Structure 1
Amino acid sequence: MSSAASSPCHRLRRVALLLLVAAVLAGGTEGKAHDYGDALRKSLLYFEAQRSGRLPHSQRVAWRHHSGLTDGLEQGVDLVGGYYDAGDHVKFGLPMAFTVTMLSWSLIEYGGDVADAGELGHALEAVKWGTDYFIKAHTRPDELWAEVGDGDTDHYCWQRPEDMTTSRQAYKVDRDHPGSDVAGETAAAMAAASIVFRGSNPHYAHLLLHHAQQLFEFADKYRGTYDSSIAEVKSYYASVSGYKDELLWAALWLHRATGRDDYLDYVVDNADSFGGTGWAINEFSWDVKYAGVQILAARLLLRGEHAPRHRSTLERYRAKAERYVCACLGRNTEGGADANVERSPGGMLYVRQWNNMQYVTGAALLLSAYSDYLAAAEAGGAARAVSCAAAAEEVFALARAQADYVLGTNPRGASYLVGYGSRYPGRVHHRAASIVPYKHSREFIGCTQGFDHWFGRRGSNPNLLVGAIVGGPDRRDRFRDSRDNYMQTEACTYNTAPMVGVFAKLRRMAWLEREQGSTSVPVTVTSTAAEV
């Protein structure tokens, strides 16, 4: 252990963190434990509110109706379906694919826990609603439709999706207009989903894997960022990190889905040139995948699922993975002010002002998964604590603290998961939720009429967007519940997706703690319904 790790300041910080964790486990600001099963159920309900296309008879969010039924018609392709990413009605391929990857990863790690909660069917439906759309959008081996709708015209209107009058122009990437990032993320989503469906629907899993392999080959062979090919996406989901992280990410998911060495060779051979072992980044999001890449690579090292020739490079991946973990814990001692993730006074990980909750929930899943990988390796006698002297239990404790913050263990005592607890945002920046339901009033609501009659209303939305995780508070834990405060009150699918697995695991852990009459944080490793 380094002298920095054993210093008095370090020990005081660790004691303070453990005291905070103990307070969280004791029941939060309201003095009672969180109902993680309820949070899980509501999280999955949210994805039904975000559906585009023809809704099934099993649709539980009754205030939504069919929408986008002519998507792709002008281009001669069926692009009906998929998800709206947030409070508007554009279907953006990159964040949608990341959402499906996160849902699938949640089920791969914690599918058994989701099943125990009685929610596996709904979770599989949430994944399949996305992958069915990706199959449609992947019209040729080297062609992927990456966006439907235009953000500029869409944002000038405040309408229900059932009333859309905005452009439904569709945009694609292909050989002449490459998009390695969106194709790579879609490959990752379909590869991860193929693992999820392997047991329950092997034919569908095989189809997903086939598409994933074709998309990865396309992404790698015809390299370029999709926002250079589709100018319309630049103002909304620009690929700031480039496409190299998505190529590594896709290769790792394909390796996990197939076990083929050539995919791992790709990750090892391109480790330096693609930044996999070079970039030390303190965030994980729909755009920046490096922390996820590094943690997946570290998993292979911890599990011994690699050839001897891969070991030294995987060690370097693990070093960067642990730097991310230590940054979240506030333990990095080198690198200056940017070495660690900022914390709000209430303990929330803080990355940036706009939709900070996406970084909180993404970190919660990464930390939870890595704590499991560490615990499994420690149980086999093959691991040590992370480089900043944190054991698996402490890594998971931080994941739990972030989840509890979302659910109301915070200075405001308010939940940022809509519909959970007694206090939560009521004026979510969301067109469909803020306007009278289509089934109650089928009178057409025009583009500006929605702004005039619904957007500016002071009251809560007429429809409850249950399960949505909004953008969340600022660095001082302050939050203004207003429809025009879109930086804080808009919810996104990729905010909620990582929490499906985290809530499922926390439900199991809470049950174990009640059974054992303990407030300790045991980290147990179980096989899941998705992968053994």
Structure 2
Amino acid sequence: MGLKKESFYSNRKCIILFCSAFLLLWGSAHGEEGHPNYKDALAKAILFFQGQRSGKLPKDQQITWRSSSGLSDGLLAHVDLTGGYYDAGDNVKFNFPMAFTTTMLSWSTLEYGKKLGPELRNAKAAIKWGTDYLIKCATATPGVLYVGVGDPNADHKCWERPEDMNTIRTVYSVSQRNPGSDVAAETAAALAAASLVFRKSDPKYSKLLLRTAKNVMQFAIQHRGAYSDSLGSAACPFYCSFSGYKDELLWGGAWLYRATNDVYYLNFIKSLGADDSTDIFSWDNKYAGARVLLSRRTLVDNDKAFEPFRQQAEDFMCKILPNSPSSTTRYTQGGLMYKLPQDNLQYATSISFLLTTYSKYMASSKSKHTFNCGGLIVTAKTLRDLAKQQVDYILGVNPLKMSYMVGFGPHYPRRIHHRGSSLPSLSVHHQSFGCGSGFQSFFYSANSNPNILVGAIVGGPNQSDGFADDRTDYSESEPATYINAAAVGPLAYFAGIYSN
């Protein structure tokens, strides 16, 4: 069967127009040399945090389908706990992952500030949104550290916008009687790291951050215990401290030492004797991150006192590298690091951060440091190339040609597991949605989300490189602040190398 001449040319014109539009979109996502457009991805990764904001939104809010929310947070404890971030696709403020998110954003800014370019201002704004809230949590009531707002069990039974929340905004805290060394030390790490970010641009704020960090770290040290044990079902199964609190004490101590150079923290770090071997880095397990951070003293500053941490950091790298004889890390056929089924990209981004950062330290050493994994010689380029492979996979260089960052490239997840994104905004639908009314009409709908949460990196594909783009599958389709926070550093690193 043939087409009429007019119909043929009309169809050919449509095809040409479609291809041109596709190439324009593809061109915005990929640079001239075929690399993903890291600068664009970096800007979007940071913009994402505006979509997760709780509290009264500022006038310069760019993600405009979001509105102010959680304005009475803290009322049940007679304190002001407004602000901060919702951790993922829900409407709860979990301080444990929020503090880790803030620490990673600060570390990214400290390591890659020059490469952030015009995004440095936005990165600082994202950090400050977190630290302003964490300061409130640490100073509102003497002897108490507030660690969460919103009953997670009640919240997870609802599918409603954060602006409509009618679930109880229970306030959770740790204290001397109910300790939480893990969440306290992570909070201290976040505040200490941020104090370094603002040291030159806002000295007064930096001093407040560091003073608060010291107090919270002291609390973590003196009153030891896992916050999961103190909070019970308010922490588990959502953000249980599976690795215990020793890793957070090391992590918090490392950041306080970097911020102060106080020998007290150096002695504290050494007293922990942290010899736990690990092949993961996440909001829960900080050992690898602390060791990479402390390795900087040996590789960059040539301080041999930190040699044990360098060796532990390299033991971790050997467990990650695919060709290493001691590797314990699986990779998909498409080349993605695959650690665990739930939100796997959190591990790909956080470990990629450690790869680029350790690579940077190695390249900065006077001897251009290398190390061995059995018979495998590892250079700075070895680590950098693996990190690039992971970042590129996330941005669309994968078997499905799908970007796992929302709004980046022509093909990305449209049905993400995120309440605010999946429900019409207040400007479109003025009436409140009830707790459960959003499930049938929106949660189970096959339609694309009406609001695009630009920059959100979702949980990612399965171990076979498959991705269903199904809102009901939170393990693959839910974004999280700690996924994005860890991605900022590598994106800035590669944006600086491969400028478009």
> With structure 1 as the length reference, what TM-score do the two structures score?
0.86
1:526 corresponds in structure 2 to: none
Q: Is 1:160 aligned with 2:146?
A: no
Pairing 1:2-41 to 2, within 5 Å after superposition:
32-41=34-43
CA contact (8 A) 1:279 1:320 kept: no
For 1:242 and 1:359, locate their aligned partners in 2 and report how far apart those are by CA, in whole Å.
18
Work out which of the residue numbers 325, 338, 344 in structure 2 matches 1:356. Answer: 344
SS of 2:307's partner is helix
The equivalent residue for 2:378 is 390
In structure 2, relative to structure 1, the CA distance for the partners of 1:107 and 1:399 (3 Å cut) is: same
Rounded to whole Å, the distance in 1 between the matches of 2:229 and 2:330 is 32
1:323 counterpart = 2:315: yes
**Equivalent in the alignment of 2:465:** 477
The yes-or-no answer on 1:129 pairing with 2:129 is yes
Shift of 1:389: 1.1
- Distance of 2:323 and 2:312 partners within structure 1: 14
> Which amino acid is 2:443 matched to?
F
Following TM superposition, by how much is the alpha carbon of 1:340 offset from its aligned partner in structure 2, in angstroms? 2.0
Say whether residues 1:381 and 2:367 are aligned partners: yes
**Alpha carbons 1:142, 1:214 under 8 Å: kept:** no
Percentage identity across aligned positions?
A: 45
Runs (4+) off by over 6 Å: 27-31
Residue 143 of structure 2: aligned partner: 142
1:258 corresponds to which letter in structure 2? T
Shift, 1:300, TM fit = 1.3
**Range moving further from structure 2, 252-261 or 325-334:** 325-334
**Counterparts of 1:296 and 1:119 in 2: how far apart (Å)?**
23
Structure 2 Cα separation of the partners of residues 479 and 173 of structure 1 = 39
Alpha-carbon spacing, 1:296–1:213, altered in 2? closer, same or farther (3 Å): same
Which position in structure 1 is the counterpart of 2:106? 104
Distance apart, 1:298 and its partner CA:
1.6
C-alpha contact 1:47 1:126 (8 A) present in aligned 2: yes
Cα distance, 1:151 vs structure 2: 1.0
Aligned equivalents of 1:31, 1:510: Cα separation in 2: 9
Contact kept in structure 1, 2:334 and 2:465, CA below 8 Å? yes
Q: Deviations over 1:500-527 (max 9, x none)?
A: 121111111002xx7xxxxxxxxxxxxx
Give yes or no for contact 2:73–2:81 (8 Å, CA) kept in 1. yes
3-state DSSP of counterpart to 1:173: strand
Distance 2:293 2:435 in 1: 45
Deviation at 1:398, TM superposition (A): 0.8
Residues 29 and 410, structure 1, Cα contact 8 Å, conserved in 2: no
Distance 1:176 1:317 in 2: 33
Distance 1:373 1:480, change over 3 A: same
Which whole-Å CA distance do the structure 2 matches of 1:108 and 1:89 have between them?
30
Q: What do the CA deviations read for 1:4-45 (whole angstroms, capped 9, x no partner)?
A: xxxxxxxxxxxxxxxxxxxxxxx9999832111100111111
Displacement, 1:318? 1.7
**Which residue of the other structure, out of 478, 501, 507, is the alignment partner of 2:495?**
507
Unaligned runs of 5+ in 2: 1-28
Match of 1:241 in 2: 243
- Corresponding letter in the other structure for 1:136: K
Partner of 2:401: 413
Which letter maps to 1:187? A
Secondary structure in 2 matching 1:354:
coil
Residue in 2 aligned with 1:295? 292
Query: 2:74 & 2:348 partners in 1: Cα distance?
Result: 35
The equivalent residue for 1:170 is 171
| Aligned residue in 2 for 1:120 | 120
* Counterpart code for 2:461: P
Q: Deviations over 1:167-211 (max 9, x none)?
A: 100010011110000000000000000000011101000000001
TM-score, length basis structure 2 = 0.91
Q: Is 1:281 the counterpart of 2:273 in the alignment?
A: no
Partner Cα distance (1:32, 1:304) in 2: 36
Cα contact 1:46–1:467 (8 A) shared by 2: yes
CA spacing shift, 1:397–1:202, aligned 2, 3 Å: same
Count of matched residue positions in the alignment of Structure 1 and Structure 2: 468
Any idea what SS the aligned residue of 1:51 has? coil
Closer, same or farther: CA 445–149 of 1 in aligned 2, 3 Å: same
Write the distance in 2 (CA, Å) between the matches of 1:459 and 1:30: 34
Residue of structure 2 in register with 1:445 after alignment: 433
CA deviation profile, 1:34-70 (whole Å, cap 9, x unmatched): 1111001111110000000000001000000010000
SS at match of 2:411: coil
Counterpart of 1:234 in 2: which secondary structure?
Answer: coil
Residue 66 of structure 2 aligns to a residue whose secondary structure is: coil
Moved more, 253-262 or 167-176: 253-262
- What secondary structure, in the 3-state scheme, does the structure 2 residue paired with 1:172 have? strand
Q: Output the CA distance in 2 between the equivalents of 1:208 and 1:385.
A: 37
Aligned AA (2:378): A
Cα distance in structure 1, aligned partners of 2:498 and 2:115: 12
Q: State the match for 1:365 in structure 2.
A: 353
Q: Point out the more displaced range, 485-494 or 384-393.
A: 384-393
1:458 partnered with 2:460: no
Distance 1:383 1:156 in 2: 52
Name the CA shift for 1:325/1:445 in 2 (closer, same or farther; >3 Å): same
Alignment match, 2:416:
428
CA 1:433 to 1:318, structure 2 compared with 1: closer, same or farther past 3 Å? same
Alignment check: 8 A CA contact 2:31 2:37 kept: no
Distance across 2 between alignment mates of 1:382 and 1:500: 25
Q: Deviations over 1:371-407 (max 9, x none)?
A: 0000011xx1273335441100111111111110110
Change (3 A) 1:141 1:189: farther
The match for 1:346 is 334
Which residue number corresponds to residue 189 of structure 1?
Answer: 190
Q: CA deviation at 1:446?
A: 0.5
Report what 1:87 is aligned to: 89
Query: What corresponds to 1:22 in structure 2?
Result: none
Measured at CA, do residues 305 and 32 of structure 1 come closer, stay the same or move farther in structure 2, by a change above 3 Å? closer
- The one-letter amino acid paired with 2:469 is D
Counterpart position of 2:19: none
Q: Give me the whole-angstrom Cα distance separating, in 2, the residues matched to 1:370 and 1:188.
A: 19
Shift of the 235–51 alpha-carbon distance from structure 1 to 2, 3 Å rule, reads same
Q: 1:164 to 1:364 in 2, by over 3 A?
A: same
| Deviation string, structure 1 residues 454-494 (Cα, Å, up to 9, x no partner) | 11111100000111100001111111101101110000000
Cα distance between partner residues in 2 of 1:257 and 1:140: 25
Amino acid corresponding to residue 152 of structure 1 in structure 2: N
Q: Distance in 1 between matches of 2:42 and 2:443?
A: 29
One-letter code aligned to 1:383: H
Whichever residue aligns with residue 97 of structure 1, its letter is: A
Q: 1:66: which partner in 2?
A: 68
Q: 1:141 touches 1:214 (CA, 8 Å); kept in 2? A: no
Amino acid at match of 2:294: A
Q: In structure 2, do the counterparts of structure 1 residues 247 and 154 end up closer, same or farther at CA, with 3 Å as the change threshold?
A: same
Contact 2:370 2:380 in 1 (8 A): no
1:211 matched to 2:212? The reply is yes
Match of 2:47 among 45, 65, 81: 45
Equivalent-residue separation in structure 1 for 2:218 and 2:241 (angstroms): 20
Decide whether the 8 Å contact of 2:30 with 2:37 is kept in 1. no
How far residue 330 of structure 1 moved from its aligned partner, in angstroms, is 2.2
8 Å Cα contact 1:141-1:218 kept in structure 2: no
Which range moves more in the overlay, 408-417 or 322-331?
322-331
1:486 aligns with 2:483: no
The CA distance in 1 between the partners of 2:344 and 2:178, in whole Å, is 32
